[in-house]
Every structure is written in C-alpha cells, then in structure tokens.
Amino acid sequence: MKLEILCYPDARLNKIAEPVLQVDERIAQLADDMLETMYDANGVGLAAIQVNVQERVIVVDVSQTRDEPLVLINPQIVEHSNTLILHEEGCLSVPDIYDDVERWDWVAVEALDKQGKSFRVEADGLLAVCLQHEIDHLDGHVFVEYLSTLKRNRIRTKLLKRAREQGKQ
C-alpha cells in the first residue's frame, strides 16, 4: 500500500522515532509499504517518520536498476570517517529543493533486517549520504536545517505557499 509523505514544514517531521522492540509481520508490512512509496516517488530512501510512523525504520535503494532494496530497522552509525564531503541532497518531504550538505564520506551502520537479524553495512558515496540523511529523519532532522536561516526561511515560505495553493483546488 502506498503511503502519504509528510511535507516540510510539517511539525511531525521533527518528532523522534522510537526503537522497534519486536520485528514482526507489522514491521515487515510497514517496510514493504515504505519501499512501494519510495519507488513510486523515485526516491533513493525513505524514513518511517516521513509517512507519520514514529518508529526507527528506514528503506534505501541507491541502485541504478531500482532493484536493490535495503531495509534497516533500528539503524545506528557505529563508525565513520573523519573526512567530510559536500553532496547535493534532496528530500521527498521537501519537494523540488536541492542543496549541498556536509556529511561523513564513509559510515558503518548496524541494523536489524526484516527477519530481525542483525547486520552491518559499510558505505561511501550516495549510500553513505543517504543513510545519514535517513537516520537524521528518525531523530527529527530534515536536511534544510543545515542550510542558512535565510535559505531555510525561503524554502519554508515557498512550500507553505504551494501547499496553500494546492489546498484551494
């Protein structure tokens, strides 16, 4: 089932997601619905917070072929490089806005899979950026928080205006 994606500056994007205590059929279904929603929106990642579910679940697929889904439950960055990279980011909750953000250029993440089994992924490039972006969502952070106040306020005004116009129709 496709889910609705919350749009910045919705205050629900700033909630903090709770750890998943039991990886069961409900969580597996949530992950499947999130993947369907992410693929439909042509995104490379999605966090449960973005579909108004305050649980620590993210899905990612950075493959060109869109057939390498990753599900991470209770993901945690356990190691990272000391070097930062500037990478242009976008967000399905901040449509049509793209800007550069500094991130670690390498991360190791531990998480549970859909079967509740622990695994580790080491990533650089887009996958590293995406994992940091998604884990940020679980802690209530949207990438525009890293931009200047001026840019953030412009984005806020633009998206509020767009939402108001769409609401009229």
Instruction: Cite the active site residues.
Output: 134
Given Ni ion, ligand GNR, none, residue 43, with its beta carbon under 5 to 8 Å by kind, binds ligand GNR
Question: Dihedral, CA atoms, 95, 100, 106, 110, nearest 10 degrees?
Answer: -30
Q: 150, 141, 57: which is closest to 94 by C-alpha? A: 141
Asked if 51 contacts 5 with a C-beta cutoff of 8 angstroms, the reply is yes
137 binds ligand GNR (CB under 6 A): yes
44 binds Ni ion (CB under 5 A): no
Among 59, 89, 135, 159, binds ligand GNR (CB under 6 A): 89
Residues 78-107 that bind Ni ion (CB under 5 A): 91
Give the Cα separation of 149 and 135 in Å (integer).
22
134 binds ligand GNR (CB under 6 A): yes
129 binds ligand GNR (CB under 6 A): yes
For residue 164, what are its two tokens?
A: 């108001």
List contacts with ligand GNR (CB under 6 A).
Answer: 43-47, 50, 89-93, 129-130, 133-134, 137
